[in-house]
Structure 1
Amino acid sequence: MKDSINIRIFTLFLCSSVFLCSAVFAEAADSNSTGVERYAIYIGSNSGGKNNSRLLYAGTDAMSFQKTMSEIGGVPESNSILLLDPSKENVDDALSAVSNAIVQGKSVSRRTEFIFYYSGHSDENALLLGKSSYEYSQLKESISNVPSDVHVVILDSCYSGNFIRTKGGQRKKPFLMDDSTVVKGHAYLSSSSALESSQESDEIGSSFFTNAMLTGLRGAADTSGDNKVSLNELYSYAFNDTLARTESSSAGPQHPNYNITLVGSGDLILSDISASESALMIPEEITGKIIIRDSFGKLISEINKTEKNPVYFALSAGTYTAVLITETDTLQGTFLLKKNQLLKLDRSYFNSVIARTENRLRGDETVNEAENSAESEGNEGALGPSGISETTVPLEIKPFHFAFAGENGSNVQSIISIGLIRASDFIVNGAQASLFSGNVTDTMNGAQASLIGVDAGVVNGIQGAGIYASSQVLNGAQASGIFNRSGTVNGVQGTGIFNQANSLMGVQGSGIFNTVQDGSGIQAAGLFNCARTINGIQAAGLFNISGTVRGVQAGGVVNVAKKVTGIQVGLINVAEENNGVALGLLNIIRNGVHDAGMMIDTNGNMFVQIQGGTNHLFTTALYGSSPRYFFSSGGNDYYHFFALGLGTRFNCRKVSFDIEALFFNTLCQAVVDIGDEIHDIINKYEDDGKSFSDDASTEDKDRVEDLAEQFHKYTYPSLRFSVSYNLLSHFSLFATACVDVRIEDWNDEAFDYGNRNLSIDFTAGSNDVTLYPSFGLGVKIR
């Protein structure tokens, strides 16, 4: 009996131990997973084909959405793809790439979520992607094939309600951001109904729907006060804000639609305000409309705060302007938001009072039919500058308007507006010129020029200044002799010294320095470029810096980037991640090739080498000689080998294979003598204060030319194959097989130095060719 009790106790103890061990191992296994992993594709397509006018802000909307989701939406940049004016094939390739990434990441994440954002043209049946289209039914199937647990689709385009119309708009209870339950499903959001146009605005430099989404994601939609924005909160905010902004538009009110079918519990959190690097807190006592613009004048958000509770709003560190509009006052101020700071935006920051103008609301009985007709003609309805008419301003038409010292001629429609000190107008359809400064606070369609400075809210034409030009939105050309600054540029921005732009889609050029936050096009400077994101070409005579490059980054000396999908070309290339090509003498690519090694070959030579670049294409710099001359030179028989080349690498776990094309130069006493003779001839003229190119005799010029042609006799091409084995994470052994090429009567002298133990002779055309194989062993530090 006693033994039976002991056995039962032992059995119970053993089972408990197994259970506890299983729990510990399960917890350890879970600790290796990341919970929720998000992926995203952002598409901005300004081109809708030949039958549709080109949009202005679809591309910048997509970049802004990517930026916001990267900062507070839990989508790392490495998991996102940005497409600007893509074809259908480009979209399919992106969907395939995301699918592959999700499959590869399944082992380290317990739930995956996929976000698909599109801004551009569409019709009742398809997205319009320039010359191609993507039918809704096919797009829905392609998105459904992405192997994520959740699909969130956001379409900001005309008639986009047709994408979700077939399934209606019935809500089901969404789920938590954490992974406490198993959930699956989709959420489709569209900017308009199946029969409505979607609209963008010059005033806000964005589409109404996307601007509402971004404002809501950054905190304006957080009605619960938990510093998180859920899917339900975001849709509700975007619906109300978009409808309020478009209900008086000539294109008609815009009603965002939804279809949410998510199985689980809780609520889907789309953004976490506490994850931002800095934030605003708008206190309880402030109510009204708060308009926030960045240092470039670009609208960041319009927050309608009605309730007596604080609102938290996520922002990047920087300088901002805020306008507070209440029932009685309009106040303005600026504030500096530092990194990792929570700034309380109380009334002390609004230290400037703005005088209000008497505007006539659309639909006022005093507005005559002619004015209404004129307004309607300016609005086309589809996503474009159409539908931008919240109020109607009575205009005073003056063919010639003169503004002297400090005078502001507001609400003036002019052919020419000239100001001795300042000319300031709400709308200028013509040309504005000012001796010292010119300012258009709303819209200008024409040309603006100033000797000292130019400012404008929206310019659709040309803006130029002798010293300074600044614009919130520019669709055309902006030029300045010294300095340009612009919120959004869709065209050309050029200056003799310095350019600065928040978003650029076109060409930015400067004699000295360019900086841009998000650029699509060409950024070129005589000395220095700086950008956060470049989709196109970034080129400078000296130095390039960029966060993300999708295209070409070319600098005369140094290129620095965080992530490159394309090509880096420069003397020195540095990147944290390069998935394309790096061409330079020194390439420091964190996820690529960065090896230093030493080897000895069968000809008795010792070599040191540096390899740097990407696996697709890397550069090799190599120096070698006999151990006898490796660290010295002397006598007529000494020699040194120098080589530069390009290679590609194939990795297979611990083993890698390199194929390299090298070009060697043999440095010996004969080469030194050639260089000395050329130097002496040229110095003979320079010592007498003359120019060799202008004053040298024909005999001396011919001699220098003959000597220079002799250099190729001491060079030779070579092909090298290498295999490396990684013994440790940063240490490997490698073996090489190399073939040097000698061509008779072309580079014979190069092979007069050093030992050649093996040779293969054959005839190629009229030339005798000799191959010199050699083998080597060495070590690398990676």
Structure 2
Amino acid sequence: MKKNINVRIFAFLFCAAVSLCGAIFAETADMNSSGVERYAIYIGSNSGGKNNARLLYAGTDAMSFQKTMSEIGGVPESNSILLLDPTKDKVDDALSAVSNAIVQGKSVSRRTEFIFYYSGHSDENALLLGKSSYEYSQLKESISNVPSDVHVVILDSCYSGNFIRTKGGQRKKPFLVDDSTVVKGYAYLSSSSALESSQESDEIGSSFFTNAMLTGLRGAADTSGDNKVSLNELYSYAFNDTLARTESSSAGPQHPNYNITLVGSGDLILSDISASESALMIPEEMTGKIIIRDSFGKLISEINKTEKNPVYFALSARTYTAVLITETDTMQGNFILKKNQLLKLDRSYFNSVVARTEHRLRGDETVNEAENFAENEENDRALEPSGLSETPVPLEIKPFHFMFAGENGSNVQSIISIGLIRANDCIVNGAQVSLFSGNISSVLNGIQASGIGLDAGVINGVQAAGIYTSADIVNGAQVSGIFNSSGTVNGIQGTGIYNSADLLFGVQGSGIFNTVKDGYGIQATGIFNSARTMNGIQAAGLFNISGTIRGVQAGSIVNVAKKVTGVQVGLINVADENNGIALGLINIIRNGVHDAGIMVDTNGNIFTQIQSGTNHLFTTALYGSSPRYFFSSGGNDYYHFFALGLGTRFNCRKVSFDIEALFYNTLCKDVVDIGDEIHDIINKYENDGKSFSDDASKEDKDRVEDLAEQFHKYTYPSLRFSVSYNLLSHFSLFATAGVDIRIEDWNDEAFDYGKRNMYIDFTAGSKDITLYPSFGFGIKIR
């Protein structure tokens, strides 16, 4: 009876354990399966062909849209493709790449969404991509073939309303980003109607429509106050803002259009302001037009705040200038937005009054200052704990500021500041010099120099120290002997040992190590570079690491990247995804070519080979010989073939085709004898403590030169065509057809070794050429 009870208890506990494990596995699977996965293609095409004026801002608009959607739009860098001045084929390749990525990611996402953004030229029938074009009907079909549940198409180009004309299209209520909802459909947004031109502006450095879209996505379109911007909110804001800006333009008003056919419930959320690394909160009591520009003066947004409710606005961490325009006054100020900060942009930040002539009445300013002071006091009391900002202390102007150890300088604005031990200022418009360290809490317009360490908020000039420099923003040069650190670099960051930056626009150079989160320009070092995203050139003496590289990644030994759109050059190249070229002896590309094989040819030779790189361009390394000499070098007639080459691959489901150009070297007894004689001549001088280059006789130098020139006689070029059939996921059969090339009096000796069963003779100029065809068959492991 006791045994029976124990068995029942055991059975109960076993079933409970199985149920618990099942629940845990289900929960784990649910955690590993994301709700919504977004993919995007961003295209900027400044060139519209010879009959159209070149645009100035289509490329930067596409880059800005990608940056915004990456920060707050739920589109990670790994799921986005940026194309600048592409051809139609490049666009098709990008659509195909996104389709493949969506298919591969179906198992880890419940729903997928695809965003297609285009900024550039178009006419009534097609997108104009430089010398090529993409007809609307073909584009619509290509986008529809992307296997995503939702398609959002945004076209910022002339006459783009023609794309929206679709039979049967009706506007239906979009859906909420809810992974439990099963929905399908599309949303087409265009910057203009079918008969209107789309316009860009030098004043805002962008097109009117894209600027309105970006401002709306960052929070200006959030009319519901839920810190999210929906498709409906975004279109409504972009329509009104674009129309308001273009009503009085010479090209006439611009009316954005839409066609939304999404089946489901709720509304499609396009951006989440709370996902930003930092944000502004414009309080409810402040109304008027707020113009925000970056430290270069580029317009970021114009927010027309009329309602008595707070507005949250997503921005990157950096320094900005803001102008507040109300019915009675215009005020200007600067603010520094730091990471993970929610900054309340109240009137206390607008400390510079831009006076209006008709209102400059004596006594009004005093009243306004009193009103502003009372209002600021009220705002301070209403502030939440996060993002607290004390009322600024009035600046004390000191053209020449001298101090011993930097005391009491946090509210000083100076032209020349000198600290015997340490200099401390709020703003310097000239130079700050100290023996040991310097600190500028706000802005430097000029030069800051110290023997040991420097700190500054914003640098518009040069910051130099013997050991260490630090700044939030650099618009110029930041130089130190050992270490530099900056939030944003717009210019040059150089040091002897180590550089660090969050955002780089320009050049980052060091003797040992560079690190940057997002780079646009050049990152160069003697040993090691690291970047999350690099747009430009990443070059190192030893190795590079990058999350996403768009451009060139070059290292003498190792390059590592997650995603490459461009070129990797190094001894070893590693990437999860490379959609360009990898040039190296060993290329480990997850979505590329990585084959090892063995084959036998019709000349009786056995070859082993390694192919690695991308489908566009891969490297091939071969070694071969007859079975008799494959593992040995005995006798006087032995030979070994070594070859390096480049190839390209075309894939068609289970079949692939390779075209390769190879260069063979024949290792035989004659080649070894030549090498031994050169070695003996050089060693004769080195053994006597002499230098061959400086002390060798003319006879010995001529002999070494003559022997070295004989090496090419044992080399020959070859062309090879291969076809492979993939039997299993990592196993293929392949066949080759190749031709070796012999040129009279240039490489005759190379063909004295090995057997060749077929040949074709002909004459080219004064040279006899012989082609030696051969065929092979082998197996590959992929």
**Counterpart position of 1:128:** none
What is the TM-score of this pair, normalised by structure 1?
0.66
Query: Any idea what SS the aligned residue of 1:490 has?
Result: strand
Q: How does 1:133-172 map to 2 (within 5 A)?
A: 147=143, 151=152
CA distance in 1, matches of 2:58, 2:414: 27
Aligned to 1:530: 530
Listed one character per residue, the Cα deviations across residues 174-221 of structure 1 (whole Å, up to 9, x for unaligned) are 42224435555456899xxx9999879xxxxxx99968955899xx99
User: How far apart in 2 are the matches of 1:726 and 1:52?
Assistant: 47
Cα distance 1:613–1:478, how it changes in 2: closer, same or farther (>3 A)? same
Equivalent residue, structure 2, for 1:735: 735
Query: How far is 1:62 from its partner?
Result: 4.8
- Residues 222-254 of structure 1, C-alpha deviation per residue, up to 9 Å, x if partnerless? 9559xx765578899999xx9xxxxxxxxxxxx
1:621 Cα deviation from its structure 2 partner: 0.3
Which position in structure 2 is the counterpart of 1:704? Answer: 704
**What's the CA shift for 1:405?**
0.9
Instruction: From the superposition, tell whether residues 706 and 408 of structure 1 become closer, same or farther in structure 2 (CA, over 3 Å).
Output: farther
Q: Per the alignment, do residues 150 and 403 of structure 1 end up closer, same or farther by CA in structure 2, a change over 3 Å counting?
A: farther
Kindly tell me: are residues 717 and 430 of structure 1, through their superposed partners in 2, closer, same or farther at Cα, counting changes over 3 Å?
same
Question: In the TM superposition, what is the alpha-carbon distance from 1:59 to its structure 2 partner?
Answer: 8.9
Taking structure 1 as reference, are residues 232 and 404 closer, same or farther at Cα in structure 2, changes over 3 Å only?
farther
Post-superposition Cα deviations, 1:715-737, rounded to whole Å, max 9, x if no partner, equal 11111121212222211111112
Offset of 1:404 from its aligned partner? 2.1
Asked whether the equivalents of residues 45 and 59 of structure 2 are also in contact (C-alpha less than 8 Å), the reply is no
Aligned to 1:167: none
1:303 is matched with none
Root mean square deviation, CA, Å: 5.9
Q: Are residues 430 and 82 of structure 1, via their aligned partners in 2, closer, same or farther at CA, if it must alter by over 3 Å?
A: farther
Cα drift, residue 663 of structure 1: 0.8
Cα displacement (A) at 1:625: 0.8
Q: Deviations over 1:412-433 (max 9, x none)?
A: 4433222223323232221222
Q: Which residue of 1 aligns with 2:551?
A: 551
Structure 2: gaps (5+ residues) = 1-32, 48-52, 122-129, 145-149, 162-170, 193-198, 206-210, 242-254, 279-311, 319-335, 343-347, 367-389
1:114 aligns to 2:115 (yes or no): yes
Aligned to 2:284: none
Is it true that 1:453 corresponds to 2:456 in the alignment? no
Q: Is residue 421 of structure 1 aligned with residue 424 of structure 2?
A: no
Closer, same or farther: CA 360–661 of 1 in aligned 2, 3 Å:
closer
- The alpha carbon displacement at 1:738 in A equals 1.8
Tell me how far apart the structure 2 counterparts of residues 442 and 209 of structure 1 sit (CA, whole Å).
32
Q: CA deviation at 1:630?
A: 0.8
CA distance in 2, matches of 1:560, 1:361: 52
- For 1:501, the equivalent position in structure 2 comes to 501
Aligned residue number for residue 7 of structure 1 = none
Q: Between the two proteins, what is the percent identity of the paired residues?
A: 67
SS at match of 1:630: coil
Contact map agreement 1:46 1:57 (CA 8 A) in 2 = no
- The aligned residue for residue 694 of structure 1 is 694
- Between the aligned partners of 2:705 and 2:661, the Cα distance in structure 1 is 29
Q: Secondary structure at the match of 2:710?
A: helix
Structure 2 residue 56 is the aligned partner of structure 1 residue 67: no
Deviations 1:58-109 (A, max 9, x none): 898556424325xxx44344542336xx5xx459888766666678899879
One-letter code aligned to 1:82:
L
State the match for 1:560 in structure 2.
560
> Shift of residue 778 of structure 1?
0.9
CA distance in 1, matches of 2:666, 2:268: 67
Q: Given that residues 95 and 143 in structure 1 are in contact (C-alpha distance below 8 angstroms), is that contact kept between their aligned partners in structure 2?
A: no
Match of 2:744 in 1: 744
For structure 1, the 5+ residue unaligned runs are 1-32, 123-131, 133-137, 164-170, 201-206, 243-256, 281-311, 321-331, 338-344, 347-355, 373-389
CA contact (8 A) 1:95 1:146 kept: no
Counterpart for residue 444 of structure 2 = 444
* Equivalent-residue separation in structure 2 for 1:230 and 1:58 (angstroms): 21
Secondary structure of the residue that 2:631 maps to in structure 1? Answer: coil
- Answer yes or no: is the 8 Å Cα contact 2:218–2:273 preserved in 1: no
Code of the aligned partner of 2:681: I
* Cα drift, residue 702 of structure 1: 2.1
Q: Counterpart in 2 of 1:82? A: 82
Q: Which residue of 2 aligns with 1:476?
A: 476
SS of structure 1 residue aligned to 2:604: coil
AA partner of residue 738 (structure 2) = C
Measure the CA separation in 2 of the matches of 1:567 and 1:556: 14
- The residue that corresponds to 2:649 in the other structure is 649
TM norm structure 2: 0.66
Q: In the superposition, relative to structure 1, how do residues 541 and 208 fare at CA in structure 2: closer, same or farther (>3 Å)? A: farther
Contact 2:471–2:486, Cα closer than 8 Å, also in 1: yes
- Given candidates 180, 183, 206, the residue that maps to 2:182 is 180
**Quick one: distance in 2 between partners of 1:395 and 1:613?**
60
Distance 2:155 2:463 in 1: 36
Return the letter of the residue paired with 1:114. I
The answer to whether structure 1 residue 762 and structure 2 residue 762 are counterparts is: yes
Give, in whole Å, the separation in 2 of the partners of 1:368 and 1:645.
Answer: 83
- Matched to 1:706, the amino acid is D
- Contact kept, 8 Å, 2:429 with 2:445, in 1: the verdict is yes
- Indicate if the aligned counterparts of 1:415 and 1:429 stay in contact, CA closer than 8 A: yes
| Mapped contact 1:144–1:151 kept (Cα < 8 A) | no
Q: Are 2:44 and 2:58, in contact at CA under 8 Å, matched by a contact in 1?
A: no
Moved more, 757-766 or 529-538: 757-766
Greater relative contact order (Cα < 8 A, sep 6+): 1
Is the Cα–Cα contact under 8 Å of residues 43 and 59 in structure 2 kept in the other structure? no
Contact 1:46/1:58 (<8 A) preserved? no
CA positional deviation for 1:35:
8.9
**Structure 1 residues 316-363: Cα deviation after superposition (integer angstroms, max 9, x where no partner):** 9xx99xxxxxxxxxxx9x99x9xxxxxxx99xxxxxxxxx99967778
Q: Provide closer, same or farther for how the CA distance between residues 477 and 46 of structure 1 changes in structure 2, counting only shifts above 3 A.
A: farther
Match of 1:485? Answer: 485
Deviation at 1:42, TM superposition (A): 5.0
Q: Deviations over 1:457-488 (max 9, x none)?
A: 12122222222222211222222221222211
Are the structure 2 counterparts of residues 395 and 199 from structure 1 closer, same or farther at C-alpha, using a change threshold of 3 Å?
farther
* Correspondence list, 1:115-514, <5 A: 116=117, 147=143, 151=152, 174-178=174-178, 179-181=181-183, 184-185=186-187, 213-214=217-218, 230=230, 265-271=265-271, 395-514=395-514
Cα distance 1:221–1:396, how it changes in 2: closer, same or farther (>3 A)?
same
For the 8 Å contact 1:221–1:237, the answer to whether it is kept is no
Would you say 1:723 and 2:726 are equivalent positions?
A: no
Instruction: Say if 1:420 and 1:116 are closer, same or farther in 2 by CA, change over 3 A.
Output: farther
* 1:621 equivalent in alignment to 2:621: yes
Letter in 2 for 1:637: D
Q: What is the one-letter code of the residue matched to 2:537?
A: I
Please identify, of 358-367 and 438-447, the stretch whose mean Cα deviation from structure 2 is larger. 358-367
Question: What is the CA–CA distance in structure 2 between the aligned matches of 1:738 and 1:141, rounded to whole Å?
Answer: 44
Secondary structure in 2 aligned to 1:414?
Answer: strand
How many residues align? The count is: 636
1:473-520 CA distances to partner (integer Å, 9 max, x unpaired)? Answer: 122222222122221122222222112221112222222111111111
- Structure 1 residues 424 and 657, CA gap change in structure 2 (3 angstroms): same
Read off the aligned partner of 2:636 and give its amino acid letter: N
8 A contact 2:490–2:506 mirrored in 1? yes
Mapped contact 1:487–1:502 kept (Cα < 8 A): yes
Q: Is the CA contact (8 Å cut-off) linking 1:43 and 1:62 kept in structure 2?
A: no
Q: How far apart are the structure 2 equivalents of 1:114 and 1:753?
A: 60
Alignment-derived partner of residue 305 in structure 1: none
**Mapped contact 2:598–2:606 kept (Cα < 8 A):** yes
Alpha-carbon offset, residue 644 of structure 1: 0.5
Q: Which amino acid aligns with 2:652?
A: C
CA distance in 2, matches of 1:601, 1:535: 45
Mapped partners of 1:450, 1:60: distance in 2: 38
Q: In 2, Cα distance between the equivalents of 1:767 and 1:363?
A: 86
The one-letter code matched in structure 2 to 1:694 is D
Q: Relative to 1, partners in 2 of residues 1:452 and 1:102: Cα closer, same or farther, differing over 3 Å? A: closer
Q: Is the 8 A contact 2:504 2:520 kept in 1?
A: yes
**1:645, CA displacement in angstroms?**
0.6
Offset at residue 530 of structure 1 (A) = 1.2
* Residue pair 1:469, 1:478 contacting (<8 A) in 2 also: yes
Contact 1:39-1:98 within 8 A present in 2 as well: no
CA distance in 2, matches of 1:224, 1:63: 23
